[in-house]
Structure 1
Amino acid sequence: MCAIAGIFDLYQQADIDIGLLQRMTDIQRHRGPDQGGLHREPGLGLGHRRLSIIDVASGQQPLFNEDDSVAVVYNGEIYNFPALMRELQQFGHTFRTHCDTEVIVHAWEQWGARCVEHFRGMFAFALWDRRQRSLFLARDRLGVKPLHYAVLDHGQLIFASEIKALLAHDQLRRDLDPLAIEDYFAYGYIPEPRTVFRQIRKLEPGHTLLLRHGSAPGQPRRYWDAPFKRQNLVSQPQLEDELIARLQEAVRIRMVAEVPLGAFLSGGVDSSAVVAMMAQQSAAPVNTCSIAFADAQFDESHYASMVAERYQTRHHSQQVQQHDAALIDQLATLYDEPFADSSALPTYRVCQLARQRVTVALSGDGGDENLAGYRRYRWHLHEERWRALLPLGLRKPVFGALGRLYPKADWAPRPLRAKSTLQALARDSVAAYFHGVSIMKDDMRAQLFSPALKRDLGHYHAVDALRRHAEHCPANDALSLVQYLDLKTYLPGDILTKVDRASMAHGLEVRVPLLDHPLVEWISGLPPALKLHGGTGKYLFKQALAPYLPDELLHRRKMGFSVPLADWFRGPLRTRLQRSLSSPVLSGCDMFNMDYVQLLMQQHQSGLRDHSAPLWSLLMFESFLRQMLETPGRHLERQAA
């Protein structure tokens, strides 16, 4: 795994500041501690940091074709590179290395911008074609690897794996995007293509951007989408066999490495399935790592140990302590923009644990989105049946009024906490799903935001991020729609971002078999009833895994990978929370109603409400503001060090 950075002058061919390019590259050294490389010519600079995985002895970057007219800097793995290399050799291309990077330059020569359609893997790369005077940026289909860019006022385009590298450029404006702030406090992350900085964008998954010298930047082009195209049905046993065969292949091609390899083992279905497939294809015991919690409500280590014992893995476990909350400022530094998924804490620790023994780890991420594993899908379909009975024009006033009148009862059993359900029934399908996944509901954000921030937002609403994707959804059933929305927003914006930054902080490469794009395409075409069946998520997957995993694990209640925030905020984190949310950094930014912030804290501490998710989002936002905006120069110096 690696880091890339670069500067492209859209209109001039002046010399690129080599010191700036070096700083942009070095700031990301944690992503590629093994080697670094730079290339500069008039109007262009490319930088690279390398974590050596395949063809360790060669494959340094930037990497060029035979006549040095095409160069690439690349972050990722292309798993089908041996087959592509043979195919390209038949077209007359000559290879000097045995690494996947060289496939990219020759694939560009052969197929141009459509080269990405031939790649199977995770990648983000920038390719320079001197003859065409063009720069080509590309990101993998599901967004496993990141790529950020900004067009500066004086005509330069800068790009990097992480935002912190772009902040090294003194011509980059650092003003915040109010729309991104609305998104953040609704979702807990900022969905693509927006970032917290108005001038910086994320290249969306499955997109490319072609830039030509002398021309204004165009719009990114989509080259892939999840098809959700129904398959020709065969018997369920046949589908189960094919699912296992496809998973085995996805795992097998991700086990190729010249460095130590292992897997995360949370004790959930997805990571356990990956470990089971690895164990069957490995001559040596698989290295596995897991995180444990003292609180039994959050601890899955028993199930992880069960799988480790069954497959005789070399298993290592570590308990997350309450003092791990000291990582708060470090997490804000890692993610470069506000990020409110508290499971970033145990994710950071499991990556740290894994890196002590391996350089590559396979994970089970993506299974919930692909195979309908989230409980919220079940609730959404239940609400959809009610929404189908009455038109929106009738539901909106009736259920809207009931939702406003019904008391909020965080303390009550789930069936009695009907306020959110009533509010969802008053909305259309997309707005209802947005309401369900929001960490701060519309009424809470309306009370939190200052008049100045509301004025800057205009008519923008965070649900617009989902509506934009819903317009392009190829499926017409309720389950596939919300899966599609998660594949476009929650998966890349939260899950994959969390794992990428946490793993790269330790120089660890994480590979994701369940996001193998042929597997994703095939699963998307399965009938919805084989994914969510009678209230059971991942139905076909669990049936197929019956010979490989114990029933106790397959059919237990889903726990999720989270931490006991509510208790932490009433205990060891109480003082830190009060100090941060009363700080002049937060009160002085003119974005928030500080009286409401204090009310959230008071209600949570009293036990009247569980505001742990909103409070964590404010805590992370304060840490971001303090580190990234108060002293950006010192912050970047720490990163480079």
Structure 2
Amino acid sequence: MCGFVGGASNKHNLMFSKTINNLEILSHRGPDDSGLYQSEWMCAGFRRLSIQDTSTDGHQPMTFDGLTILHNGEIYNFREVRNELCRKGYSFESKTDTEVFLKGFHAWGLHCLEKFNGMFATVIIDERNKRVMLIRDRLGIKPLYYVHKKGEFFAFASEIKALKGIVPFTENREKVVEHLIYRSVVGEKTLFNDVCSLLPGEYLVFDHPKEVVHRDIYYAPTQEMQRLDMDEAVEQAEKLLIEAIGRRLISDVEVGLQLSGGVDSGLIAAIVQTHFHKASLHSFSISMTDSPEMDESRYQMMVAGQYGITHHDIPFTGVDFQKYLDHAVWHNDYPIVHPNAVAIMKLAEYAKQYVTVILSGEGADEAFFGYPKYKFSVHRGLLGLLISLNPLSGALLPDIGKFGYVKSLIKGVPDFKTMFVETRKGKDLSYYMSPEQLRYGYQERLCMMNQYDAEHDIPVFDQATSLRELLRRFDRMTMSASIEGRVPFCDHQLMEFANSLPASVKANRNGLKLVLKRLAEKYLPHELIYREKMGFSLPIDKWFSENADLRTVASVLGEDCFLDKKIVDPDRFRAWWNGGTYNQREFIDVAWPLLGYELWHRKFISS
């Protein structure tokens, strides 16, 4: 895991000085080593976090036969690919996956990507042809951003903040509003004007002499369905999960676990110890000492105790939230959607004392039907009937507000896919926005949904939207402490398999995530598997009401400096905020996203 920044420009000296200055911004992504590359048209800087082959042999940028690579991430099967390259006559000077990527690209071009299993954001500089290629992994686990100002420069970076000074930071209002409404954005545009994100499974080629950018996909998720019964699905899921976890244990530094107390991280812990027998495995968890109703430490300890894991309980309070909030805003690059990002930052800081790599369960819910909203697929026929009976649907379904569907049903949305997109909106926040604002991002999402089968592929839609936000959160918060986060459930082979299963195998009217829960019965206590899903929530409404420093932070929402931005209707919002009658859900759904936006704006735009 590493970080880089660089660019191509005819004004080479200016780009070089900006690259040098901004490289320090990424020091948290690579505290172990740094390196520079420069030629008459290109310069790039690299910060290294040593994971595979911690010697200086892994120094980057790395060059071979006119090609130079800057590689962030891991190719988990690099040893197998290396052996294949050796049979083709290639020799190696290091034991790194970086050298395998570089020489694999030299041997096969883009076809090398078909051989790789991993997470990566990689830049390859072709000095002979004066071209730069950017490549991002299939699921977008590792970040990669770029800016192209035709006739001026092309720049790229691992984090948006490293582009500051290279391009002026101004907000893209449509994307900002979309992010507030949906808690994620779709497409390559970011919240910053002119800054684009390379999308998952994409590559980009910048031809410097021609000043041309070409973007294309090299990977599209398969949509072929398998007809497996439950026993067959569980057997195959176990095989693929064991393989995915085994690959992510390959490291020359210590590997630990983030334990949430749920099925996903519990399964990872159990499989690590059952099949790979780690002698000194450390796990890390957040406990809510001042909010026992949200505390899951009992279940975290249950898993750690069962498998002989050295467990570290990390208390997190409102004082901690206030202490880490500003730091988290800086590292996140975007407004913080999920308040628990702040807690993950503290966990990573603590874990760094013991490990440099940490495994986590991100992606399991999106792959295996873990969220209540996926009951849409299970109940599709019933919901379609109720919609057709509009306006009686509201009376027939008086309270499914737990899933946030009843408002859409009552509105009489025309079809299933439209209804699903409607329910992705933050309903309470939408009340304070204009009809024009509510259109931002809506059509793009509807177009995406139309690519999918409504019964089976709703999680695939989330993998392309909300999961991207979760992966970015995990990357930024772990890397803030120079820790590499690995996500076994986001192994592309496992994800493809999960997506190929019929919805009826993954969920029914009595439960969700059936395949993983059946698998977990082999490894974990029944009490843990079948308890009610809690999620990683923080009592931020309570903390902001009790902590004077946090109240001061939140008070900005009533000030003109915020309201004058007109991100919401000033009069309507002021009346609600100054009234002080909001409940817990309203604070989390309305006040927190807007506060996150204001803190982000002050950090990146106003400053």
Give TM-score scaled by structure 1 length: 0.88
* Length, aligned pairs only: 601
Within 2, Cα distance between the matches of 1:245 and 1:381?
Answer: 26
Which moves more between the two structures, 86-95 or 44-53? 86-95
Q: Quote the residue 1:180 is aligned against.
A: 175
Q: Quote the residue 1:259 is aligned against.
A: 253
Q: Quote the residue 1:346 is aligned against.
A: 343
1:62 aligns with 2:58: no
Q: Quote the residue 2:226 is aligned against.
A: 231
Which moves more between the two structures, 116-125 or 416-425? 416-425
Within 2, Cα distance between the matches of 1:382 and 1:614?
Answer: 29
One-letter identity of the residue aligned with 2:60: Q
Whether the aligned pair in 2 keeps the contact of 1:33 and 1:50 (CA below 8 Å) is yes
Which moves more between the two structures, 276-285 or 158-167? 276-285
Summarize deviations over 1:312-342 as a string: whole Å, max 9, x none.
1000011210112313322221112223211
1:382 counterpart (369, 372, 379): 379
Q: Quote the residue 1:472 is aligned against.
A: 451
Within 1, Cα distance between the matches of 2:487 and 2:110?
Answer: 25
Which moves more between the two structures, 463-472 or 42-51? 463-472
Shift of 1:587: 2.9
Whether the aligned pair in 2 keeps the contact of 1:185 and 1:614 (CA below 8 Å) is no
Q: Quote the residue 1:5 is aligned against.
A: 5
Q: Quote the residue 2:206 is aligned against.
A: 211
Shift of 1:15: 4.7
Matched residue SS, 1:340: coil
Cα 1:263/1:343, change in 2 over 3 Å: same
Shift of 1:477: 4.0
Q: Quote the residue 1:513 is aligned against.
A: 488
Give TM-score scaled by structure 2 length: 0.93
1:392-471 to 2 correspondence within 5 Å? 395=390, 398=391, 414=401, 419-423=406-410, 425-440=412-427, 443-447=430-434, 454=436, 460-471=439-450
1:39-188 to 2 correspondence within 5 Å? 39-57=37-55, 58-65=57-64, 67=65, 69-152=66-149, 154-169=151-166, 172-188=167-183
Which moves more between the two structures, 192-201 or 32-41? 192-201
One-letter identity of the residue aligned with 2:508: H
1:316 aligns with 2:312: yes
Cα 1:419/1:602, change in 2 over 3 Å: farther
Shift of 1:624: 1.2
Q: Quote the residue 2:239 is aligned against.
A: 245
One-letter identity of the residue aligned with 1:439: G
Q: Quote the residue 1:564 is aligned against.
A: 539
Cα 1:442/1:382, change in 2 over 3 Å: farther
One-letter identity of the residue aligned with 1:2: C
Within 2, Cα distance between the matches of 1:78 and 1:254?
Answer: 10
Calculate percent identity across the aligned residue pairs.
28
Whether the aligned pair in 2 keeps the contact of 1:7 and 1:46 (CA below 8 Å) is yes
Runs of 4+ in 1 over 6 A off after TM superposition: 415-418
Shift of 1:144: 0.7
Cα 1:173/1:156, change in 2 over 3 Å: same
Within 1, Cα distance between the matches of 2:19 and 2:121?
Answer: 18
Whether the aligned pair in 2 keeps the contact of 1:15 and 1:42 (CA below 8 Å) is no
Within 2, Cα distance between the matches of 1:385 and 1:367?
Answer: 27
Which moves more between the two structures, 217-226 or 175-184? 217-226
Within 2, Cα distance between the matches of 1:168 and 1:600?
Answer: 38
Whether the aligned pair in 2 keeps the contact of 1:384 and 1:429 (CA below 8 Å) is no
Whether the aligned pair in 2 keeps the contact of 1:192 and 1:203 (CA below 8 Å) is no
One-letter identity of the residue aligned with 2:51: I
Shift of 1:522: 1.4
Shift of 1:374: 0.6
Matched residue SS, 1:496: helix
Within 2, Cα distance between the matches of 1:563 and 1:190?
Answer: 24
Cα 1:70/1:550, change in 2 over 3 Å: same
5+ residue gaps, structure 1: 632-641
1:576 counterpart (533, 552, 555): 552
Matched residue SS, 2:74: strand
Cα 1:608/1:622, change in 2 over 3 Å: closer
One-letter identity of the residue aligned with 1:109: H
1:483 counterpart (435, 446, 459): 459
Summarize deviations over 1:167-190 as a string: whole Å, max 9, x none.
131xx2323212102211112233
Q: Quote the residue 2:572 is aligned against.
A: 596
Summarize deviations over 1:358-409 as a string: whole Å, max 9, x none.
1111111110000000112125643662224555xx74xx379x69xx99xx
One-letter identity of the residue aligned with 2:28: H
5+ residue gaps, structure 2: none
1:541 counterpart (516, 529, 549): 516
Cα 1:296/1:423, change in 2 over 3 Å: farther
1:616 counterpart (583, 587, 592): 592
Matched residue SS, 2:210: coil
Whether the aligned pair in 2 keeps the contact of 1:28 and 1:49 (CA below 8 Å) is yes
One-letter identity of the residue aligned with 2:46: H
Q: Quote the residue 1:287 is aligned against.
A: 282
Within 1, Cα distance between the matches of 2:142 and 2:295?
Answer: 29
Which moves more between the two structures, 367-376 or 115-124? 115-124
